[in-house]
Structure 1
């Protein structure tokens, strides 16, 4: 495995690929302990004393051995069961197989292929972590190099890497059997097998690679004007992955900077690279992350802007995929003023919850680009992979504020997928919330004298409903027997969207898919979404969702679309002084 060398990038890091493609039925606990081993490699690199390094080395190889034994045992058990089912089909005649469930052979094919993918993913994980330890921890130690090579040899020559039977031959036999029994060509047979696999949410790919996104470009247009000064990109700790993918898209290096917190919570930003006269882009979402609060993320953003300006950057642009506090006008106005005072001269953001925020940055242009086409492309691919005929679909607005967004989404969806207005027209439905408990007393609702001025009720008499208490929800439009696509900008506590989904299900919706640009998943949002009737949740990576992907029940529903190509194109246009008009469509 060490001899294979570094694999070419697929527009997705390996740890994200593992979270994207692991089998939710198997759970991450039956895969290589990649994340724990990776942390040990990082800790080894930060250790200064030899005794500390020796302790970490012992823990690393103990955990590596435990992972190897666990993966080997689980793999052999699953492989034995899959091959047993495959060989049992050979005892039936053609007529007997034709009389059985038509999905029997595809289910066995899917099981065998799932085991093969489980093996491939674990081999890749072992190879990745061994290579990391070899390159970062064992370069100057022949003894550690020997241990890594010995572990590599054991894994490469074991049942983890070498299957007990020829898997490709087994899969070919199953395809041949299905084709003969049901009189199908090889192409038709493979289409049936893939269709069965695509309908299994446990094995569905959850993160879309950059190369498959709508705004991905291998090379930017030569017709655009060149920038007059160098482009430098840095990020806070909440947007490291997005920054890495943006730099890969733009084919440039990240600005060398240290963004960290002291023990007392204070934030420190230090640039290890000169930015004098450069065009600096600071990428940071206003959201919480592991060991980072919302307030800390905002402070990091402000200090990165100020530090860039103090180091004589020509222009500083804040790339904020998600802007918090948009529901509170006073709060977001205060944050906007702080960022401008810290040196922000331009703002790029994605799908603002309220477009009025654009006018709250004093004398600073704000480009609010739309990720709508990214979601439409991903949704179209999901439905096509499942064999959907794109009929009986409706787009649902969860409240009155998102009706225009839903209407625009439906029109663009029909245009992108090439749907017929006569047979595949997509109507718009909306949900109306009716809050109970706000009844005006009769003595106050009618005045005995028409000339009297209205009397305000005593303070506290008309109490507002509890937060999250929606009363009843009415659905405007016909959703019975339809695939309902709920379109929103933000999923926070997931109270509104789950209640909306429950009401749609009560009204006879056949299937529900939720789409939102930003997923905060605060409070008990994950538990609510898991328990809800929502089948698929498509979101962007404006907020890191690695923790949600580790939960098998949530991983079955979650699909993540990268906004890095969208941001990269917007940043390129700002840097080269080109218009972003085509990216504004909501």
Structure 2
């Protein structure tokens, strides 16, 4: 494939601030202006999505920045229509940059007569002309296998590790990483290794979906500063309940590090009124005004890591190099200075 002078970015309406931030970061890295391709992504009166690309993209390496977050169906359809428009405009390659991959929680059949929607969405993306996926913290790692195209899955844990080393400087020996359920142990263990902290688990049992019957802490959290680690915070019910149980079991403080702040329904109110001292999320999903105004919610940027990953894909160099703190620290421009 003939390489063009610069990678080209295009964005839907799901998270335009993040798309612009990625473009700015890439401009800094490249020393030339990398802007978003001029296009319109609109809706007809009946809600149908229409896309028109105003610039020539023939032979270009195109990157569509579009998390499939709420409203998931609209944002997913925008992505598919943009991919089709680019493919029909003779783009050399179309890469979907999905900071948040919607429908990832439906990755297996949990009972009879239910769908595996994550696989169906993967098929739709490939069918629309997408040739590569770049995402962050998939809910289940096996979703990469649902695609017959390359999938690069970035991790928030290296960025979180830098943030923790900055925020808890001088208190690192007090920290304990907590997995809010047995299924998230691998993710929590990864962060615990990075910051050299012990690990505990909150085991939860549900009577029915959305309702937690019982929570048990596996491990001694007495006098520890607990860091709950998970990939998604939706209504924050489980998160806030886990924080309460940890405090009841003798924890000194509870903080949470969550990759994707879905924050639907009563989530912000619950977090604001909870015993958690802070909730740290990324900007993979565009934060609502309520999230921005919450005093105990903090947002860490993903634009630096996504900008570098896009450049690595365009250059044909390693994306997995971004899993190392030594690589990430200079990318984050000294924002975090581990002590």
Bucket of the pairwise TM-score, normalised by the shorter protein: 0.7 to 0.9
Give deviations 1:551-575, integer Å, cap 9, x for gaps: 4xx2x11111111111111111111
Does the 8 Å CA contact 2:165/2:172 hold for their aligned counterparts? Answer: no
Match of 2:83 among 305, 309, 320: 305
In the alignment, is residue 264 of structure 1 matched against residue 42 of structure 2? no
SS at match of 1:391: helix
Following superposition of structure 1 onto structure 2, how do residues 137-536 of structure 1 map, counting pairs within 5 Å? 227-228=3-4, 230-251=6-27, 252-288=34-70, 293-329=71-107, 330-361=116-147, 363-384=148-169, 388-414=170-196, 426-435=197-206, 465-536=207-278
Give the CA deviation at 1:383.
Answer: 2.1
SS at match of 1:513: strand
Give the CA deviation at 1:229.
Answer: 5.4
Aligned length in residues:
310
In the alignment, is residue 573 of structure 1 matched against residue 315 of structure 2? no
After superposition, the Cα gap between the structure-2 partners of 1:550 and 1:400, relative to the gap in structure 1 and judged at 3 Å, is closer
Give deviations 1:245-296, integer Å, cap 9, x for gaps: 11111111110111112222111111010100000000000112xxxx2211
Does the 8 Å CA contact 1:396/1:484 hold for their aligned counterparts? Answer: yes
Give deviations 1:155-185, integer Å, cap 9, x for gaps: xxxxxxxxxxxxxxxxxxxxxxxxxxxxxxx
Q: Which has the larger radius of gyration?
A: 1
Does the 8 Å CA contact 1:325/1:332 hold for their aligned counterparts? Answer: yes
SS at match of 1:260: strand
Give the CA deviation at 1:323.
Answer: 0.6
Give the CA deviation at 1:227.
Answer: 4.3
Q: For residues 470 and 248 of structure 1, what CA distance do their matches in structure 2 show?
A: 43
Does the 8 Å CA contact 2:158/2:324 hold for their aligned counterparts? Answer: no
Match of 2:297 among 558, 561, 579: 558
Would you tell me which structure has more strand in proportion to its own residues?
2
Give the CA deviation at 1:549.
Answer: 3.7
SS at match of 1:544: coil
SS at match of 2:211: coil
Give the CA deviation at 1:550.
Answer: 4.8
Give the CA deviation at 1:299.
Answer: 0.5
Give deviations 1:401-452, integer Å, cap 9, x for gaps: 11111111011123xxxxxxxxxxx2110011234xxxxxxxxxxxxxxxxx
Q: For residues 390 and 584 of structure 1, what CA distance do their matches in structure 2 show?
A: 21
TM-score scaled by length of structure 1: 0.51
After superposition, the Cα gap between the structure-2 partners of 1:434 and 1:550, relative to the gap in structure 1 and judged at 3 Å, is closer
After superposition, the Cα gap between the structure-2 partners of 1:537 and 1:276, relative to the gap in structure 1 and judged at 3 Å, is same
TM-score scaled by length of structure 2: 0.88
Q: For residues 67 and 155 of structure 2, what CA distance do their matches in structure 1 show?
A: 16
SS at match of 2:212: coil
Q: For residues 83 and 136 of structure 2, what CA distance do their matches in structure 1 show?
A: 19
Give the CA deviation at 1:228.
Answer: 4.8
Does the 8 Å CA contact 2:180/2:228 hold for their aligned counterparts? Answer: yes
After superposition, the Cα gap between the structure-2 partners of 1:229 and 1:562, relative to the gap in structure 1 and judged at 3 Å, is same
Give the CA deviation at 1:378.
Answer: 1.6
Following superposition of structure 1 onto structure 2, how do residues 85-124 of structure 1 map, counting pairs within 5 Å? none
Q: For residues 280 and 205 of structure 2, what CA distance do their matches in structure 1 show?
A: 27
Does the 8 Å CA contact 1:487/1:516 hold for their aligned counterparts? Answer: yes
After superposition, the Cα gap between the structure-2 partners of 1:498 and 1:585, relative to the gap in structure 1 and judged at 3 Å, is farther
Would you tell me which structure has more helix in proportion to its own residues?
1
Number of the residue aligned with 1:438: none
